[in-house]
Structure 1
Amino acid sequence: MKIVDLGVEQVIGADRDEWVPVFTGLSVRQFRRLVRVVAGRGGEQTGTGWRWSLPLADRVLLIVVYYRTNLTLRQVALLFGVSKSAAHRVVDHLAPLLALAPAARRHSPDTVLIVDGTLVPVHDRTVTASSKNYRYSVNMQVVIDANTWLAVAVGRPVPGNHNDCTAFRDSGANTAFRGAHVMAYGGYRGNRQVIMPYRRPRDSGELPAWQDQLNTVHKRVRARVEHVFARMKWWNTLIELERPEAGQGCLGTSRC
């Protein structure tokens, strides 16, 4: 990655390997592989015509910086020494090529996953419903690894007026964790695939001490998925869902 001193500005690039993990969260090898995948999908410019001012690796880095931070396009453009409109064109052109096809995976028996749903406002009324956040939203079911906090799977979006128990089944998220233990809060009652906290007896009696202790541990671990949601919404990971022109096309890919 190259840093050029332009007075008060700095332009970053992907030609210095030590910067790649800082901005992408990937190893250098993984990032180079990602660039090759994008090139194979048509990201590299061929033929004649208008040329990109940034090489492909820098354009991929620009998108990753945009999605993994809360910087605006204007701020990201300054980092890469391009105009805001040029940065916008890079995102529109290459972002769909970063979408990864869903892959079925069998987890080891000692793997612990956490599932939860979050409401994401979307302009496309054909896939949304008026929800408890008083906006037209979709219910996104997300499964994360309890140890690494990485997203393992994201279910298909369902209307936001569906409860988590129904959305878990309708979104297909219930098929993403074969072989693993999955934790969820009490709203997933009825799904025997997940581990939920103990409920108080119907006679309003108290839980045994050992069940109360397990509930405390369960809540402490399950809270990790809430931190993941906070990062997804604080960063620009889910911002494409709110753009009118994104529509259902964005919802059908893992770029969101």
Structure 2
Amino acid sequence: MEQVISADRVEWVPVFTGLSVRQFRKLVRIVAGRGGEQTGTGRRWSLPLADRVLLIAVYYRTNLTVRQVALLFGVSKSAAHRVVDHLAPLLALAPVTRRYGPDTVLIVDGTLVPTHDRKVTAPSKNYRYSVNMQVVIDANTRLVVAVGRPVPGNHNDCTAYRDSGVERSCRGASVMADGGYFGNRQVIMPYRRPRDGGELLAWQVELNTIHKKVRARVEHAFAHMKWWNILRNCRRKRDGVHHATRGIALMRNLAMTG
């Protein structure tokens, strides 16, 4: 099969990845540093590392089937599957290893990702089988700092925050969230109206307005991440949606910082 897309044709990189050529080359270096380059003996990859990274970036960006992506790169469907399975864990946001101080402000929120694997999904408020993906960003830099493991889409954010593991990733920091995280005492949420039906005080209304403006940054992050269309309908099984979300988080961070 003739290869249509190649990393050597740099004009295709921004179109199919959402990254500049410099950002894409940095992504390739990250993957290489994590063991993406083939070493030792054994069956050799038919594509060089840059093309394999481009393949998975195209797969995430376009959400074409693996068969369709394979045709674009001139490889078989099974070879494309192996590339995705091998590189997905390497092309992903690194887990949080630092402990934050209280001066660090993080923002957490969940988004529903429709996913075909019924073993990890549940019918949710978007009337589709989805997973709840918890994402944490830095309020100052707006970069994604953590992505939780997927939980069924019928779990509310309060439960997903704990079960996905992002609660541990945020340990020590000041964490902002919407009212859906009621019950997580360490999370800063907007004031609710009193149960007796009274009105909020003026200073509470003012703080809620500030809170809403700052918290909107995580919504902007979700909008940016969903430019990679696999988050609109993920066909990957098992850990596929987790690897895809972390990979997109890494590419978004690169797109923002260069």
Once the two structures are TM-superposed, the CA of residue 196 in structure 1 deviates from its matched residue by 0.4
CA distance in 2, matches of 1:136, 1:101: 27
Q: Which consecutive unaligned segments of at least 5 residues does structure 1 have? A: 1-8
For 1:204, the equivalent position in structure 2 comes to 197
Residues 82-231 of structure 1 correspond to what in structure 2 (within 5 A)?
82-83=73-74, 85=76, 88-89=80-81, 90-99=83-92, 102-231=95-224
Could you list the per-position Cα deviations for residues 234-255 of structure 1 after superposition, in whole angstroms to 9, with x for gaps in the alignment? 314536x721xx3213256444
For 1:37, the equivalent position in structure 2 comes to 34
Could you list the per-position Cα deviations for residues 192-212 of structure 1 after superposition, in whole angstroms to 9, with x for gaps in the alignment? 111001112223222222211
Structure 1 residues 25 and 211, CA, compared in 2 at 3 Å: closer, same or farther? farther
Could you list the per-position Cα deviations for residues 119-172 of structure 1 after superposition, in whole angstroms to 9, with x for gaps in the alignment? 122222222221111111121111111122222112222221111111111222
Q: SS at 1:247's partner residue?
A: coil
1:98 aligned partner, one-letter code = L
Aligned alpha-carbon RMSD (Å): 3.6
1:83 aligned partner, one-letter code = G
CA distance in 2, matches of 1:174, 1:51: 39
Q: Which consecutive unaligned segments of at least 5 residues does structure 2 have? A: 249-258
Structure 1 residues 96 and 213, CA, compared in 2 at 3 Å: closer, same or farther? same
Whose relative contact order is higher, 1 or 2, with alpha carbons under 8 Å and at least 6 apart?
2
Structure 1 residues 207 and 26, CA, compared in 2 at 3 Å: closer, same or farther? farther
CA distance in 2, matches of 1:24, 1:134: 40
CA distance in 1, matches of 2:57, 2:148: 22
CA distance in 2, matches of 1:249, 1:10: 27
Q: Which has the larger radius of gyration?
A: 1
CA contact (8 A) 2:107 2:176 kept: yes
For 2:8, the equivalent position in structure 1 comes to 13
1:250 matched to 2:240? The reply is yes
Structure 1 residues 147 and 24, CA, compared in 2 at 3 Å: closer, same or farther? farther
Could you list the per-position Cα deviations for residues 180-202 of structure 1 after superposition, in whole angstroms to 9, with x for gaps in the alignment? 11000011111111100111222
Structure 1 residues 237 and 123, CA, compared in 2 at 3 Å: closer, same or farther? closer
Once the two structures are TM-superposed, the CA of residue 92 in structure 1 deviates from its matched residue by 4.4
CA contact (8 A) 1:98 1:255 kept: yes
Once the two structures are TM-superposed, the CA of residue 12 in structure 1 deviates from its matched residue by 3.7
How many residues in Structure 1 have an aligned counterpart in Structure 2?
236
TM value normalised by structure 1: 0.74
For 1:22, the equivalent position in structure 2 comes to 20
Structure 1 residues 136 and 48, CA, compared in 2 at 3 Å: closer, same or farther? closer
Once the two structures are TM-superposed, the CA of residue 37 in structure 1 deviates from its matched residue by 1.6
CA distance in 1, matches of 2:91, 2:5: 26
1:155 aligned partner, one-letter code = G
CA contact (8 A) 2:193 2:199 kept: yes
Q: SS at 1:234's partner residue?
A: coil
User: Percent identity of the aligned residues?
Assistant: 62
Structure 1 residues 206 and 248, CA, compared in 2 at 3 Å: closer, same or farther? same
CA distance in 2, matches of 1:237, 1:123: 11
CA distance in 2, matches of 1:75, 1:249: 22
